[in-house]
Structure 1
């Protein structure tokens, strides 16, 4: 009888332990379900199928944020169409680029007709699988840009404008989380397009700005031939530049897509460069202040988000050779030596040197929305101005500008030492890249 009682006690204990174990299991399942339902969880749980690799999430990517900084300001700006400059109104919405910062993600599209539209941010892990319960509803502002909060483990992003819409092909995030900017002074190069050769203009441009103190260049390639592309590839290969290419439904892109380039380069340079000169390929900055331009920029108060600078125009009547034909004749083709008939310096078509981290919204070459308590100042022409090598080709944008000019042109040149060094540097680069021979 005692043995039977003992067996009953053991059986009861086993049942109690079994029930306790079931309780723990059900509790864990309940917690797991709640985690999946929680939209703003601090980490993402993802069930991988056997065909997918596990995603290793680096420390910098273990962040989830509930909203974007200054979201209320963005909503107000969107409502009154701040930054809404529409040119090609029927363009498809295609993802151009995306950038991850410490506090947000920015997605740049190729459409100029979606400002203030409701849009949903979508997030994907290293396998391009969507992160569960991670989507975020927002609006497009400014013009082509969609700002999204961070999500744990997100390596790709996409968007949808309708709940029934299939998300666009996810685009990889470009890393822009730096304790300090990588570059102190860079250039956002205006978009390269059109049929005219640009290879020599690109070399002159880059070598000029390198002498000024620039260390990096952001190129945008709307359309460029293989020969011109060679020197852009050279600068990218050796760490002086990066470039954005466009895949759109249009056979050719022109100046009406310039504002898309403006948005892309602004977000591309944010936190990557402290100061950015926002100028076209035919514009060269001239610094005539004390010491050098980097010394001058370092003297700026932390509240300055943009320096506005004046410009003069250099009458430019010829074209660049399609290719290098004779290296011995190269110097006679250099734009900064051939053309020096100059207008007065004026504030017509002024440009900006910008702090991307302090500025929200750009027009073509200057900002018109900055962070709170951030200011724009104008720099006297005695310190900085631009030389704008302006064509009078009637097929060029505003190529008829001389018809409306009523001033007096005068001969001006670059500073002698600067000019001689620029000649040397341009010739060395052209020889390295283009002075080729058959085997």
Structure 2
């Protein structure tokens, strides 16, 4: 009974004045009401300047992806990309998905597909509407707790979206095991379209507590690169407060360092507190064949590892296709491979290529509206991983492949 009384009080509702009578318990961290969002004035100015606007899929429906609860605000991500700067209303619901009376709050779409909302005590679910009391997107989404005092992970990784027909099971395992060597302890995946066989590996990483996944369901039957920005911004909010530093890269990109006495964590910890993003150059490696459809035996699997099989490497132009590692709380807007806007006083640094870079295994046979990326001439050379890194990677991949797929042959 005590919790019921408390919940009525924090909703600002009396038993005499309303029939709303929530029976939901309310945790101590959910007793907060706020009336503004951090950096609201800055966001308003950026909206007036049309920053982060991308007018894609004009007829797309308003569908919710996730709701993230931070210490002093909420972020709601959606599938809409053409509403930047437009009015939106935050709607709040208790644990039974009953709307909390007199709780709605006017906001705007910014950045891109995101609506920032104030905190409402007792809210467990959230939704968005275009009018204050009008239709709201259904179903409301549960609020994911991100109000940590300190990030859980030192390094997390936002993994680019999965789409297209190629089987990804081996690429996924090689990618995760490679990045784990560099002490990435959390992987944030976004799935548009993924075959069930590859999903076995992803499910196992989730079971082990190494991955979280957002599944995007839309009215579209085929998805392409235009949905990449949805993934970027949802992962941007998912990783905030959960990981201190976040690597933004696709599954065909692998981070490497060249100083044996310097680790990635040491590099990150050495940065000034005002640094919000580090940029790294990339070298593109021709991937001339697709990965195998299924696991047959361990020897064939090792032979098909991208790090061993594909070596023909081109030097890109200076900072062309650069990749980033960033602090989510210090930046405001994402673009494809780096942050687009940073908060006042935050700096971006470029890391020299002889310290660290990304290896990008780029498919040469696929052409789409942005081309296959091979526009840099024919100045190629064979490059590979350092022998000790290669040996360790093979060992880790072999263990994971056998664990997941040996019994499913």
Distance 1:46 1:208, change over 3 A: farther
Q: Which residue does the alignment assign to 2:4?
A: none
Deviation string for 1:407-431 (max 9, x for gaps)?
A: 5211111011010010011011101
Query: SS of 2:407's equivalent?
Result: coil
Q: Is the 8 A contact 1:66 1:149 kept in 2?
A: yes
Unaligned runs of 5+ in 1: 1-35
Counterpart for residue 300 of structure 1: 271
Indicate which of 130, 135, 140 corresponds to 2:104: 135
| Structure-to-structure mapping, 1:3-402, within 5 angstroms | 43-45=11-13, 54-163=23-132, 165-169=134-138, 170-289=140-259, 290-344=261-315, 346-395=318-367, 398-402=370-374
Distance 1:136 1:163 in 2: 8
The residue matched to 2:231 in structure 1 has which SS?
helix
Structure number with greater Rg is 1
State the secondary structure of the residue aligned to 1:343: strand
Q: Quote the offset at 1:280 in angstroms.
A: 0.5
Query: How large is the Cα RMSD of the aligned pairs?
Result: 2.1
Q: For the residues of structure 2 that align with 1:123 and 1:130, how far apart are their CA atoms?
A: 6
TM-score with structure 2 length normalisation? 0.93
> Do the aligned residues in 1 keep the contact of 2:15 with 2:21 (CA within 8 Å)?
no
Tell me how far apart the structure 1 counterparts of residues 122 and 25 of structure 2 sit (CA, whole Å): 8
Structure 1 residues 399, 295: closer, same or farther in 2, change over 3 A?
A: same
Contact residue 83 and residue 142 of structure 1 kept, 8 A:
yes
Q: Which has the higher helix share?
A: 1
Q: How many pairs are equivalent?
A: 399
Contact 1:269–1:276 (CA under 8 A) maintained in structure 2: yes
Could you say if the C-alpha distance between residues 42 and 229 of structure 1 is closer, same or farther in structure 2, counting changes exceeding 3 Å? Answer: same
Look up the SS of the partner of 1:347 in the other structure: coil
2:381 is aligned to: 410
Give 5+ residue unaligned stretches, structure 2.
1-7
**Cα distance in 2 for residues equivalent to 1:127 and 1:431:** 43
Report the Cα distance in structure 1 between the residues aligned to 2:313 and 2:398, rounded to whole angstroms. Answer: 25
TM-score, normalised with respect to structure 1: 0.87
- Contact 1:112/1:144 (<8 A) preserved: yes
CA positional deviation for 1:43: 4.8
1:171-191 CA-to-partner distances (Å, cap 9, x unmatched) read: 110000101100000110000
Q: Does the CA-based 8 Å contact 1:303-1:374 persist in structure 2? A: yes
Deviations for 1:260-317, whole angstroms, at most 9, x for unmatched residues? 0000000000000000000001000111233211011111111000001101100110
The alpha-carbon distance between structure 1 residues 405 and 437, as it changes in their structure 2 partners (threshold 3 A), is closer
Match of residue 436 from structure 1: 407
Residues 151 and 420 from structure 1, CA distance in 2 versus in 1: closer, same or farther, beyond 3 angstroms?
Answer: same
The answer to whether the aligner puts 1:425 opposite 2:393 as a matched pair is: no
Name the SS of the counterpart of 1:436 in structure 2. helix
Distance 1:207 1:46, change over 3 A: farther
Q: Assess, with a 3 A threshold, how the Cα gap between structure 1 residues 175 and 209 changes in structure 2: closer, same or farther.
A: same
